[in-house]
Amino acid sequence: MALFSKKSIEGLLAESADTQGMKKTLSAGALVALGIGAIIGAGLFSITGMAAANYAGPAIMISFVVAAIGCTFAGLCYAEFSSMIPVAGSAYTYSYATMGEFIAWIIGWDLVLEYAVGAATVASSWSGYLSKFFESFGVSLPESLMKTPFDGGIINLPAIFIVTIMSLVLMRGTGESAKLNNIIVVLKVAIVLIFIAIGIKYVRPENLHPFIPKNEGPGKFGWSGILRAAGVVFFAYVGFDAVSTAAQETKNPKKAMPIGILGSLVACTILYILFAYVMTGVAPYKLFGEAGNELAPVATAINHMGTPGADGVIVPAYPWLNRVIIIAILLGYSSVILVMLLGQSRVFYSMSKDGLLPSVFSKLHPKFKTPTRSNFFFLLFVSLFAAFIPGRIVGEMTSIGTLFAFILVCAGIIVLRKTNPNAPKAFQTPMVPLVPILGIVVCFAMMALLPLDTWIRLVIWMMIGFDVYLVRGIRKSHLAVNDTAADRKKALRITSIVGLFVSLGLLGLAIAHHVTNDDADGDKGIMILSGVVLVFHLIFYSINLLKANKEA
């Protein structure tokens, strides 16, 4: 039965060796750059200050280390899979090889939240920083063309512009995309290093004392605050796993993929810690929670890089650095969008090759050898999403989708060691099952900290995915060609039962949100959405279940 059928590792390796497939143009260095390009972005320039001011103080540096350890658990599992199964698709492909088609479909659909929705979120923020950049020159762009209808505008045109540009670059080929990304990475890392080099001489020891502020309650400074801040800054690392989606376009993936994944994690962790040291060293950490300027908290730190004047007020020695930081943010966001769009198109490429999605997503351009039609589809999807839907609504959806993917990859390593212990590996995750279990625990703990409305949106998105699988995927899967009528009925019955249980989970989450939420307007919208989705799916899954039982 295709529902639990697995793709053989041998078949996946044969697929990766297909000479008619994508061009193999990426080196280990290019993969490290791809990872850095995806990781360094809004997290470094905004989350650091907020987490320091509200949770950890100067000990935000420890929080980055804790978050990096959590990412490393998942990264080690990704590295083993990507070196053993160097095929486009990332967590989707790994799940298909270890846990079967149904779980693979769930994770493939979930990855849309990480990649496509993530790209739309970043594109929305890119537009805001572009406006600030022009404002620094005294030019005001029309707000009606810079904001979504929900934010008082008409359309977010700059968001459409940056998504279109990055998509066109991807259509030309990953070699060209990687070259552009390399340039962007060099520039923004250089700017980060300039910030560190200039700011480090203005670090004042008194700002770093006490290094761990006294605890003021659960999650408010002290060690509990450090751990809560780790959960917040974890999302500044999101993106390293996108490296694994380019495995099929890598020259020597068995060696290059672990280097790309772990190398980008290590490089970004070092930069994050140094950046946090300078930020909390040049200005008292509590100021970052009060900052009102448009580049808070980075602008606050830059404004404290100087010497006190006669009135005791610090005179910034490098006021021009604020404008440079805006450029760094624009570049950082651009490279994040590039890598997210790359990852999304490659996941759908793999799902299409397996028959779970229409073949249009796996057709390659005859010259560029890239899935240009898939790129064009997501150009439209992500552009429209960013143009009309506020980024704040989908930001946390990206995080929960990413964490869910990490959990399944970690679980996949445990399953792989049980079911195929002799599979050849160029890189092996150490201390299995301890490392994967720790990865699962850390990631789930961070998921649990996210708001209930984020959980509700995740469940609704996954229910839509079940619909697509029931209507098309379950019938068109290449692994289902030999299924008997009884097999198909059993698959329909199982998926319908799972859908009914998920529907009950949605009901429970909606009730919990209603009981705990203080925002009446927000709660009303969530309850209406949940109610409509719940009623439709209870009917839909019940009909399918009755149909399966009747025909059995």
- Where does 283-364 have alpha helices with state H? 287-290, 298-303, 321-353
Contact 259, 31 (CB under 8 A): yes
pLDDT above 70: residue 20? no
Give the separation between CA 385 and CA 160, rounded to whole angstroms.
Answer: 9
Torsion of CA 225, 230, 232, 235, to 10 degrees: 180
Retrieve residue 469's tokens: 């699988």
**What is the reported pLDDT for 4?**
73
Lowest-confidence range among 55-64, 173-182, 189-198, 262-271? Answer: 173-182
Burial class (CB in 10 A: 0-12, 13-18, 19+), 8: exposed
Q: What is the pLDDT of residues 223-264, one digit of tens each?
A: 888 888 887 787 678 777 767 666 666 777 777 777 888 888
Q: Which of 12, 108, 86, 85 is nearest to 356 (CA)?
A: 108
Q: Which of 311, 310, 289 is nearest to 300 (CA)?
A: 289
Asked whether the CA dihedral 412, 243, 2, 459 is positive or negative, the reply is positive
Contact 323, 130 (CB under 8 A): no
Give the separation between CA 416 and CA 98, rounded to whole angstroms.
Answer: 6
Contact 32, 263 (CB under 8 A): yes
All structural domains of the chain with their residue ranges: 2-21+28-450, 452-551
Q: Which CATH architecture has domain 2-21+28-450?
A: Up-down Bundle (1.20)
Contact 342, 170 (CB under 8 A): yes
**What is the reported pLDDT for 548?**
79
**What is the reported pLDDT for 16?**
59
**What is the reported pLDDT for 395?**
65
- pLDDT band with cut points at 50, 70 and 90 for residue 471: confident
Q: Which of 158, 167, 112 is nearest to 330 (CA)?
A: 158
Quick one: DSSP state of residue 26? B
Q: Which of 370, 83, 114 is nearest to 244 (CA)?
A: 83
Strands (E), 336-403: none
What residues are paired with 307 via a beta bridge? 315
Contact 378, 167 (CB under 8 A): yes
Helical pair 174-199 and 28-39, crossing angle rounded to 10 deg: 60
- pLDDT band with cut points at 50, 70 and 90 for residue 176: low
Lowest-confidence range among 174-178, 442-446, 498-502, 538-542? Answer: 174-178
pLDDT above 80: residue 265? yes
Q: Are strands 306-308 and 314-316 parallel, antiparallel or unpaired?
A: antiparallel
169: which residues sit within 8 A by CB, 6+ positions away? 176, 177, 180, 338
Give the separation between CA 36 and CA 139, rounded to whole angstroms.
Answer: 32
Q: What is the pLDDT of residues 267-306, one digit of tens each?
A: 888 999 999 999 999 999 888 876 444 445 777 788 888 8
Give the separation between CA 16 and CA 205, rounded to whole angstroms.
Answer: 54
- pLDDT band with cut points at 50, 70 and 90 for residue 161: very high
- Upstream peptide bond of 451 is cis (omega within 30 degrees of 0): no
**What is the reported pLDDT for 295?**
45
Please state the rounded mean pLDDT for residues 492-499.
87
Locus of tokens 């994967």: 436
536: which residues sit within 8 A by CB, 6+ positions away? none
Phi, psi of 90 (to 5 degrees): 55, -130
Task: Establish how many alpha carbons lie within 13 A of residue 354's alpha carbon, considering only the half-sphere containing its beta carbon.
Answer: 33
**What is the reported pLDDT for 282?**
93
**What is the reported pLDDT for 212?**
93
**What is the reported pLDDT for 19?**
47
Give the separation between CA 316 and CA 320, rounded to whole angstroms.
Answer: 9
From residue 405, give the alpha-carbon distance in Å to each of 75, 366, 402, 474, 534.
Answer: 12, 32, 5, 21, 24
User: Is the model more confident about 248 or about 414?
Assistant: 414
**What is the reported pLDDT for 58?**
94
- Sequential DSSP letters for 285-296: TTHHHH--STTT
Contact 200, 280 (CB under 8 A): no
> What is the C-alpha end-to-end distance of the chain, expressed in Å?
15
pLDDT above 80: residue 528? yes
Region for 3 from its dihedrals, namely left if φ exceeds 0, alpha if ψ lies in -120 to 50, beta otherwise: alpha
Q: What is the pLDDT of residues 107-127, one digit of tens each?
A: 888 888 778 887 887 888 788
User: Is the model more confident about 47 or about 327?
Assistant: 327
> What 3-state class would DSSP assign to 315?
strand
**What is the reported pLDDT for 434?**
93
pLDDT above 60: residue 187? yes
Q: Would you give the distance in Å from CA 4 to the centre of its chain?
A: 27
| Single-letter code of the amino acid located at 167 | S
Contact 172, 370 (CB under 8 A): yes
**What is the reported pLDDT for 247?**
63
Locus of tokens 């949106």: 457
Task: Please state, rounded to an integer, the average pLDDT across all residues of the chain.
Answer: 81
What residues are paired with 391 via a beta bridge? none
pLDDT above 90: residue 134? no
What residues are paired with 314 via a beta bridge? 308
**What is the reported pLDDT for 306?**
85
| Single-letter code of the amino acid located at 186 | V
Retrieve residue 137's tokens: 């020159």
Give the separation between CA 458 and CA 403, rounded to whole angstroms.
Answer: 12
**What is the reported pLDDT for 61?**
94
**What is the reported pLDDT for 508?**
92
Q: H/E/C letters for each residue in 237-285?
A: CCCHHHHHHHHHHECCHHHHHHHHHHHHHHHHHHHHHHHHHHHHHHCCC
